[in-house]
Structure 1
């Protein structure tokens, strides 16, 4: 029975979760919050949902780019290069982004009589993104169940695994990861140098997947 909503960005993690849980998902939601790479990701999210016969919505959150401070919202040149373990990558945090998106998705779930909201955060996010950490997921799940008549739950099945382990799941599902987008700079090709590009390369290598992503020279 399809009783779930998924927050689907068009990146490796959420597209893997989309296919992993496709038999449970009634609706896919993408959020356009004005990041450099939204224009690359969201069409892919819509394409995959349509391929699976899952309804898809894009919800604009343009206020975030006006009032929130993050290099992710300040243009491609503001995006730092390097590994996620480096301190400069903290500039890419969009404050409470997942909290805002999950709150909206929870409200939509209750409006449609759906019981679950799925999100694809993973263990590699924990270092710099507070609203990807297990304690946050636990807290917002409790808040969702307490604050809705139908006791909507938030489920994040990849919270305790790495992006590489997610890629292993995708390999078993026979996913083509060239049909996903990672780069925070949002250019014509993946830059290959920002934190998400490096993480993408490492994940595909971990899963022994041939990386055919077009990268800039």
Structure 2
């Protein structure tokens, strides 16, 4: 796994795919990758979450504002989970974890298995040897460990007869670190909310609280428009 200490690399001759959600972490990761890699392919996975329409809109705006010729148009992959999650809060918008809830409350079971399985196969089919994503140090879930990412890459590589790699260069960082790294990028065009009100961050969910704390700790003005604080 790539360490944040050595990210982004000084140079690269290979293309890179980046799993981008539109949130702070993956947006900054992609922007940093675009400064080095000859081609960066943003991948967005639609699973059916209630916030996806707004999130994808922000994602496209961020990429447009970034305006890098080596960044390919956003490619969307469909991976619906309604038949798995049923009436989960992420699909219904009901009983969404608020700012007082622990990080464990926002668990989306097997999320990285779902995202990476299709992303890695896309990479194999399109001649992209690596996919990067942006889990942070504080991620408490079992599908965000170095052991998981190594096993996932090996399993899909075996399945397709390839040699795919997963990069997680922010795995030793916290939100405050990402805000500091990304403050020169258009962070107002990133979206972190799991309970949006119209096109605005709600200001009260678990992810909004994490976002607010990141800006506060970084001592960087928060450009986000919240529905309520």
Q: Same fold (TM over 0.5)?
A: yes
**Deviation at 1:71?**
1.6
Q: CA deviation at 1:45?
A: 2.0
Q: Structure 2 length as normaliser, TM-score?
A: 0.83
Farther-moved stretch of structure 1 (145-154 vs 179-188): 145-154
Q: Which residue of 2 aligns with 1:68?
A: 85
Following superposition of structure 1 onto structure 2, how do residues 13-162 of structure 1 map, counting pairs within 5 Å? 13-22=25-34, 23-24=36-37, 25-50=39-64, 51-53=67-69, 54-62=72-80, 64-69=81-86, 70-75=88-93, 77-83=94-100, 86=102, 90-126=104-140, 129-162=141-174
Three-state SS of the structure 2 residue aligned to 1:200 is helix
When the two chains are superposed, the root-mean-square deviation of aligned CA atoms in Å is: 1.9
Aligned residue among 193, 198, 203 for 1:183 = 193
Take 2:19 and 2:46, find their aligned partners in 1: how far apart are those partners?
12
Structure 1 residue ranges (4+ consecutive) displaced by more than 6 angstroms after TM superposition: none
Query: How many angstroms does 1:209 deviate by?
Result: 1.0
The whole-number CA distance in structure 2 between the counterparts of 1:124 and 1:81 is 18
Give the count of matched residue pairs: 208
CA contact (8 A) 1:183 1:191 kept: yes
Unaligned runs of 5+ in 1: none
- How far did residue 134 of structure 1 move? 2.8
Alpha-carbon distance in 2 for matches of 1:93, 1:185: 15
Q: TM-score if structure 1 supplies the norm length?
A: 0.87
The CA deviation string for residues 74-127 of structure 1, in whole angstroms up to 9 with x for no partner, is 21x32021245x2xx53432211111111111111110111101111111222x
